[in-house]
Amino acid sequence: MAGGSLITKIKKAFDELIQLGLVNPKPVKFFGAQATGCSPISTAIKQSSHEIEPQRPATIARSLAIGNPADGHYAIKAIHGSGGWSEDVSDAEIVNSIQLLARSEGIFTETAGGVTVGTARKLIRQDRILPEETTVLCITGNGLKTTDALAGKFETEAPIAPRLREFELLLERKLSSSGVSAFSGQAPALRPSADIPGVSVEA
């Protein structure tokens, strides 16, 4: 959550789909996710307060760094009213969660997506999200927007000439080193994430 607008709009959409008879009514919980370095909504919820105390942002999740969220009160209402909760994660947890999502699902997300995944892991450990429940994480940003967050985490690849054959040779070397033939049609298997049971990801 940044300004609190998106979660309230998703809640509004769910309610309208039910009112129109397009989906069957069923209980849906809404959970909020923020970076610890800018978590005014999450802090208010965890303190059982409806008052938001503005914060000075200090997080790598810059797209979520709104210290005085305009729709924060509506976000709190949507979360509390649904029986949900909110959590926040540190910058280190954000980076770790970006890497987890890339390894387990093949999705490269920006720092905001790392906040979402990291928060989901916390909520699962707290038994607020249960493995047998269907949970959807909204991953809305591409990782290419915030590559600086991963600086120093991986070896830098040597540049290649902008030629298709150069790319094919690089691909062959990479796949052969992992025991996969480049042109066999066999794709490396993605390891299912044991850390996020029962969670589906919408990119």
pLDDT digits (tens, 9 = 90+) for 71-99: 999 999 999 999 999 999 999 999 999 99
Could you tell me the residue range of the domain that residue 14 belongs to? 5-152+192-202
Cross-strand bridge partners of residue 51: none
What's the residue count for the chain? 203
Low pLDDT (below 50) residues in the chain: 185, 187-192, 194, 203
- Residue 101 falls within a domain, yes or no? yes
The pLDDT of residue 140 is 86
State residue 203's pLDDT score. Answer: 45
CATH code for position 129: 3.40.50.1100
In this structure, is residue 182 part of a structural domain?
Answer: no
Q: How far apart are CA 72 and CA 52, in angstroms?
A: 7
Q: How far apart are CA 72 and CA 53, in angstroms?
A: 10
pLDDT at 192: 46
Domain count along the chain:
1
Rounded alpha-carbon distances, angstroms, from residue 174 to 168, 170, 171, 177: 10, 6, 5, 5
> At 195, phi and psi to the nearest 5?
-85, -15
Q: Is 51 contained in some domain?
A: yes
User: In whole angstroms, how far apart are CA 31 and each of 5, 69, 173, 181?
Assistant: 13, 17, 43, 42
Would residue 50 count as lying in a domain?
Answer: yes
| Residue 180 located in a structural domain | no
pTM for the predicted model, two decimal places: 0.78
Residue 159 lies in a domain: no
Q: What pLDDT does residue 11 have?
A: 95
Element counts in the chain: helices (H) and strands (E): 6, 4
Q: Are strands 135-138 and 32-35 parallel, antiparallel or unpaired?
A: unpaired
Domain membership flag for residue 176: no
Domain for residue 167, yes or no?
A: no
Closest to 195 in 3D by CA, of 94, 118, 134, 109? 118
